[in-house]
């Protein structure tokens, strides 16, 4: 991984243990002489840190926040197998390992830790903050907040039996042969991709150019787990830690209505920022709005002086 320089100074490559699996990422120091607040961040469904997370990390670092950004297990520079498999509960536990590691760094004040997540990890950030009292503030951006409802919306009822048979067949094959079945993240309708919409195709196609380690596939079992993962069940337990939810007004991937319904169940203190566009708008078209909102929120609630 190459070094990059932000207004906070040079980031450095880091790695840490997560129950025997090495996770790798970048640490952005602030350059301050005293330990500072830190934000722990990881990417969404199938994505790797090179897909715009460096931009978010630099913006937060410029606001006086140290940042730890890493690749999920089984993805990018991190270890783990099967490759390209997303177990949401394992990723949540790895967030906790990342929090532990961040707290050991001499540049970090372990009493001022925030978590940031986007899309799939936007849901993770809620769950982590609900259960880990070390977290003092959380930003959840266009979160995958209700996998049960989005699963029902994506699969017509007439196809549910066939889908269940596919999941069962994959489990049997994996047990008997060790072979892991895959499906594309984007592609033609005949390929049955995870995201068939045009905006997803455009976004992930760009990601493939800027993040060479991203792969256009996930395991079939990933889909089985995602259909029963409901991060929104935990949202009322985030309080009294402050929550910022960033919602796109035309999110047909995670569901604008599902996000707003979850936000309404969250207890105070909470803040809502609605941006124009679809699920992938925060990374490019709405980057300035979303990065600035997160930086201001964390600087306020983790008590930094800003830059």
Digit-by-digit pLDDT tens for the chain (307 residues) are 334 444 445 899 999 999 999 999 999 999 999 999 999 999 999 999 999 999 999 999 999 999 999 999 999 999 999 999 999 999 999 999 999 999 999 999 999 999 999 999 999 999 999 999 999 999 999 999 999 999 988 888 888 889 999 999 999 999 999 999 999 999 987 888 999 999 999 999 999 999 999 999 999 999 999 999 999 999 999 999 999 999 999 999 999 999 999 999 999 999 999 999 999 999 999 999 999 999 999 999 998 654 4
CA neighbor of 60 nearest in space, from 51, 50, 69: 69
Fold of 5-153+228-301: Rossmann fold (3.40.50)
In whole angstroms, give the CA distance from residue 32 to residue 128.
28
Residue whose token pair is 């708008």: 281
* Cβ count near 240 (within 10 Å): 7
- Extended strands (E) in 99-217: 108-118, 135-141, 182-183
294 sits in which H/E element: helix 287-301
Quote the strand ranges of 63-186, DSSP E: 66-70, 108-118, 135-141, 182-183
* Residues 214/48, Cβ–Cβ less than 8 Å: yes
Nearest-Å Rg of the Cα atoms of the chain is 19
- First CA to last CA distance, the chain: 27
Q: DSSP class of residue 158?
A: G
Decide if 253 contacts 200 (C-beta within 8 A).
yes
């Amino acid at each position: 991984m190459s070094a990059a320089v932000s207004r906070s100074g040079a980031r450095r490559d880091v790695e840490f243990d997560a129950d025997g699996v090495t996770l790798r990422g970048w640490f952005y120091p602030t350059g301050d002489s005293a330990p500072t607040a830190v934000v722990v961040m990881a990417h969404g469904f199938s994505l790797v840190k090179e897909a715009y997370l460096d931009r978010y990390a630099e913006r937060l670092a410029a606001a006086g926040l140290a940042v730890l950004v890493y690749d999920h297990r089984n993805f990018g520079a991190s270890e783990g197998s099967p490759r390209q498999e997303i177990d949401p509960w394992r990723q949540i536990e790895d967030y906790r390992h990342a929090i532990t590691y961040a707290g050991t760094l001499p540049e970090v004040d372990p009493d001022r830790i925030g978590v940031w997540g986007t899309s799939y990890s936007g849901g993770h950030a809620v769950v982590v903050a609900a259960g880990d009292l070390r977290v003092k503030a959380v930003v959840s951006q266009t979160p995958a907040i209700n996998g049960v409802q989005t699963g029902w919306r994506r699969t017509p009822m007439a196809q549910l039996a066939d889908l269940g048979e596919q999941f069962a067949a994959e489990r049997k094959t994996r047990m008997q042969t060790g072979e892991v079945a895959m499906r594309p993240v984007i592609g033609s309708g005949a390929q049955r991709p995870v995201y068939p919409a045009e905006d997803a195709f455009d976004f992930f196609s760009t990601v493939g150019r800027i993040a060479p380690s991203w792969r256009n596939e996930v395991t079939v079992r990933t889909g089985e787990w995602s259909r029963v993962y409901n991060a929104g069940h935990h949202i009322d337990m985030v309080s009294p830690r402050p929550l910022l939810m960033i919602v796109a007004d035309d999110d047909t991937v995670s569901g604008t209505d599902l996000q707003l319904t979850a936000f309404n169940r969250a207890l105070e203190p909470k803040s809502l920022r609605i941006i124009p566009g679809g699920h992938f708008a925060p990374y490019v078209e709405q980057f300035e709005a979303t990065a600035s909102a997160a930086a201001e929120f964390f600087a306020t609630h983790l008590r930094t002086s800003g830059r």
